Structure 1
């Protein structure tokens, strides 16, 4: 299958999956049944050639040059200076404590706080925190990745949030990272965090998780080639002043990854009530492959697998063996 067909397939999946969703109303391919609310129906996955399977993220793949996913896990060790940051930044899920603190300021804490948003912000703050007086200035510096932020061409037309059928709140992308192109050739791999308003279940994929996957793949597929930092700055200014002209300029540009076949991404999915899992997705001809870890609890700071999740958030690109 040629790269043009793969790109068209990615764009088609994006429109199929997001086109019908214009608010919290129900759509036919997302369950509204108790116990599976928010899950994409298996029949729809089969119809759209989307494969989901389990993935053991704790298997010792570190250092292997070729893996079953297009990423290599970093050493599962937290830098020592991350520990005090975790103490400060980790969300306090003790509702009674929060309620007492809020009452001091005349505020009320809702019983159903959106913990997934807070956990997502925690990983973003921990990942990007500046280290003073260290050999490396931040974890992206240590692991040779780059924070994708405005005016990076990927974000010029990217969606950072979207509706979720049957839920008032939507999915939200918080942090996006990529291999640092100043150190190695530009690669399409993206590592990101996103929050979901729903509770995930083993063996099923949430609408919001799949929406994040197809949205990021789509935005990577249409990402324009930008030749310099100066040109990037100009496009960034256009995005704030003249969206119509920006669209015209972007439509005339060649894609940044014209020969890409897989559009790989790695997603830290933060879900309610206080849990998370990691998903890896890539194209295999016209099949969208999604591998999902088990669901981990982040209810207690001491037992939360923070180091494990960071070791994948900062993963390195790798060839993939088709299985």
Structure 2
């Protein structure tokens, strides 16, 4: 494990103590948004133009969205759309299985990625529940090298403000990064099942091999849906001791415009960059 990797993992442990307990997080007066991310050594870049992504102008992005040309081969069937973002995963696009086409798989329990956090929780106001809806990763078997990129959708039960990040959004992306950092390695399916059923203390004592021991960025792409039918994209990754979060503007889904649905579908179906 490199010194940079060690620093990154220590930083994630520090953020755990500051974020998972909402009483410690630097919240704004509304109790929903993070007041000043820089207090946690987080560089928050709002209004980031993810929409016009280009590999030459955005070399810092460690993922590649599905191209517009490709997504338009699978037109949306409006009659099959519902509130679960099925338009993005393919069931509302001429019954085409876009996850299979893209080589992606849905992450579900007992996937070892979810051993640490299930990525659900509450705001300081316990009546407001933050949750993830869908988690995707590249489809690999246990004998192959994997990529740490996690793409997911999440729902926040409150209004999001431009240029601000919600507590629930930050918790979701942090927990996803921490899950990747702590994810144990399994050489075959049976071992993965055994580890998923093993008590944490016993697992840490006898199995300390990590799935991504040399990773230093732990990239996550979150499609965040907030109250009043709006959504945005957040792309966090670690930069040694600092977390960098690139956040798009808010988009309105009130009219269900096909161009906007195509945009979010393209990013949800992203693959790891070169």
Paired with 1:220 and 1:299, the residues of 2 have a C-alpha distance of: 34
Q: Deviations over 1:297-322 (max 9, x none)?
A: 01112367111011111112126xxx
User: Does residue 130 of structure 2 align to residue 171 of structure 1?
Assistant: yes
Residue in structure 2 matching 1:46, options 28, 38, 52: 38
Paired with 2:265 and 2:244, the residues of 1 have a C-alpha distance of: 22
Which residues in structure 2 correspond to 1:181-260 (within 5 Å)? 181-182=140-141, 185-236=145-196, 238=197, 245-253=199-207, 254-260=209-215
Paired with 2:226 and 2:261, the residues of 1 have a C-alpha distance of: 15
Paired with 1:231 and 1:185, the residues of 2 have a C-alpha distance of: 16
Aligned to 1:272: 227
User: Does residue 85 of structure 2 align to residue 122 of structure 1?
Assistant: yes
Paired with 2:167 and 2:251, the residues of 1 have a C-alpha distance of: 19
2:88 touches 2:265 (CA, 8 Å); kept in 1?
no
TM-score normalised by the chain length of structure 1: 0.75
1:53 touches 1:291 (CA, 8 Å); kept in 2?
yes
Paired with 2:133 and 2:250, the residues of 1 have a C-alpha distance of: 20
User: Does residue 28 of structure 2 align to residue 31 of structure 1?
Assistant: yes
Paired with 2:88 and 2:4, the residues of 1 have a C-alpha distance of: 40
Residues 230 and 65 from structure 1, CA distance in 2 versus in 1: closer, same or farther, beyond 3 angstroms? Answer: farther
Aligned to 2:51: 58
Q: Number of residue pairs matched?
A: 268
Q: Deviations over 1:217-254 (max 9, x none)?
A: 11111100111012123334x2xxxx6x3541245321
Paired with 2:92 and 2:26, the residues of 1 have a C-alpha distance of: 43
1:66 touches 1:318 (CA, 8 Å); kept in 2?
no
Aligned to 2:104: 145
Q: Deviations over 1:88-132 (max 9, x none)?
A: 223xxxxxxxxxxxxxxxxxxxxxxxxxxx4xx224x74164989
1:151 touches 1:235 (CA, 8 Å); kept in 2?
no
2:219 touches 2:235 (CA, 8 Å); kept in 1?
yes
CA RMSD of aligned residues (A): 2.6
Deviates more, 1:67-76 or 1:305-314: 67-76
Paired with 2:218 and 2:9, the residues of 1 have a C-alpha distance of: 9
Q: Deviations over 1:180-216 (max 9, x none)?
A: 2249731111000010011111111010000101111
Paired with 1:28 and 1:292, the residues of 2 have a C-alpha distance of: 20
Paired with 2:40 and 2:25, the residues of 1 have a C-alpha distance of: 14
User: Does residue 116 of structure 2 align to residue 157 of structure 1?
Assistant: yes
The structure with the larger Rg is 1
Paired with 1:138 and 1:130, the residues of 2 have a C-alpha distance of: 10
Residue in structure 1 matching 2:66, options 67, 74, 78: 74
Q: CA deviation at 1:158?
A: 2.3
Q: Deviations over 1:157-195 (max 9, x none)?
A: 322311112461211011111122249731111000010
Residue in structure 2 matching 1:311, options 255, 266, 269: 266
TM-score normalised by the chain length of structure 2: 0.87
Q: CA deviation at 1:52?
A: 0.6
Residues 39 and 234 from structure 1, CA distance in 2 versus in 1: closer, same or farther, beyond 3 angstroms? Answer: same
Aligned to 1:289: 244
Deviates more, 1:168-177 or 1:137-146: 137-146
